[in-house]
Structure 1
């Protein structure tokens, strides 16, 4: 009989202590481990691919240059030339989300972006950066963000609260979008993989019946690799758009 934990689609998101410092105290979990590994792998890749630059680039150098240019164009298109001062911030977020998402695609690895607390922390980092820089650069003019240009004065009591609520909902939508896509994809993948394991245990007829779930598992795996990259792109694009509001708060 198959281990229930191996076919349970929710078990893969469980937090487990690797090192615990006393009961109820601090602990180093599998989530913390893979966040450290994500940062470590990103740093190693970028350092290794840029330490020895050559006219004829290696595959690693070509990939890193492509990622640099991709994010730089994203920042320029969304936030203008002045937004390039945030390029290191946006690039770091993009690489962290991308590598964390890709890590979650490997068996026995942990997907940290499937936990809402992680994605919400990243989203709050973005929004706090927008607020702090927006107030520091524009002062009270930052409040123009909540007053669309050309709106009649008598409509402002209705429009301004809507704009405020819309702004405050940004960290929620930014975090939930990433979390929900990764969570739903991994659950779907685990469910179809569970069908393959369950039906395969029924003998020859079971294996014949498991062919369709097996094909679906392979197809969903390919789709999830695409989603992993796409969600990193969406997170970075929305970050750039929000930073543009801090640079140019008037609508």
Structure 2
């Protein structure tokens, strides 16, 4: 009884509970494993991210004002930023894939930022979401590379500038590195987002203790500020790596 009473008044919080999938309509629980068609909190916040993108890039720019509104200025700034990234990293001939790159950036950016709202859910903290993005990019650039270059795409793994006896070793290393790309691409995004949100939750849990609550609240504010930067940086990193992989598909000999 004493042990039970001690546990009841002790400091208890579960920082990983915020990543649990919960259905929008009934059910749920700690062991909930939703089918792929179920509507969950992740589905809701991804849909809200898509809605936010639609409002910013379609609704707010429909007037095409010569003197843009604030929202139109933001949309034009993001558009120009990603367009320049694609041209600088993947080359001008990658411009036809610009809508795909912009869509990836905006979806990750909005999902990350919406996940910082109180009582929200960060879909990019789930490896299932980021793996679809990462492996989707991997399959796309691989198929594109073979479609545009045929067998020449394999030149990406065969370094003709290296000494002949080193080429097979380098080829194996490059091949392994290539197939690790989607794994690192997806884990990097999910891991960074999950880590930041977990730290915020831990500091928020310590705010229950009166003696250290001021420091815990300052910690939450500081980590929250960092997470705002991380939300943008992770979207940028995912997008620029996609541009690098796209460049390999378009120009495997470089």
Tell me the TM-score normalised to structure 1 length.
0.91
Q: Contact between 1:19 and 1:27, CA under 8 Å: does it hold in 2?
A: no
Match of 1:229 among 229, 232, 236: 232
Q: Contact between 2:111 and 2:123, CA under 8 Å: does it hold in 1?
A: yes
2:48 corresponds to: 37
Using the TM superposition, give the Cα deviation of residue 2 of structure 1 relative to its aligned residue in structure 2, in angstroms: 8.8
2:176 corresponds to: 165
Using the TM superposition, give the Cα deviation of residue 27 of structure 1 relative to its aligned residue in structure 2, in angstroms: 1.8
Deviations 1:142-166 (A, max 9, x none): 1011112301222122111110000
1:94 corresponds to: 105
Using the TM superposition, give the Cα deviation of residue 4 of structure 1 relative to its aligned residue in structure 2, in angstroms: 8.6
Runs of 4+ with deviation above 3 angstroms:
1-5, 23-26
1:181 corresponds to: 192
Tell me the TM-score normalised to structure 2 length.
0.90
Using the TM superposition, give the Cα deviation of residue 84 of structure 1 relative to its aligned residue in structure 2, in angstroms: 1.0
1:203 corresponds to: none
1:47 aligns to what SS in structure 2?
Answer: helix
**2:227 pairs with 1:215:** no
1:71 corresponds to: 82
Write the mapping of 1:120-199 to structure 2, written as runs, cut at 5 A: 120-196=131-207, 198-199=208-209
Change in CA separation of 1:103 and 1:152 when aligned onto 2, cut-off 3 Å: same
The answer for unaligned runs of 5 or more in structure 1 is 200-205
Deviations 1:58-102 (A, max 9, x none): 000100000000000100110010111111000000000000000
1:86 aligns to what SS in structure 2?
Answer: helix
The answer for unaligned runs of 5 or more in structure 2 is 1-7, 28-32
Q: Contact between 1:149 and 1:250, CA under 8 Å: does it hold in 2?
A: no
Distance 1:44 1:58 in 2: 13
Q: Contact between 2:206 and 2:212, CA under 8 Å: does it hold in 1?
A: no
Q: How many residues align?
A: 241
Match of 2:19 among 10, 13, 17: 13
Using the TM superposition, give the Cα deviation of residue 3 of structure 1 relative to its aligned residue in structure 2, in angstroms: 11
Distance 2:131 2:39 in 1: 20
Q: Contact between 1:20 and 1:27, CA under 8 Å: does it hold in 2?
A: no
**2:68 pairs with 1:57:** yes
Using the TM superposition, give the Cα deviation of residue 20 of structure 1 relative to its aligned residue in structure 2, in angstroms: 6.9
Distance 1:126 1:17 in 2: 29
1:202 corresponds to: none
2:167 aligns to what SS in structure 1?
Answer: helix
2:15 aligns to what SS in structure 1?
Answer: coil
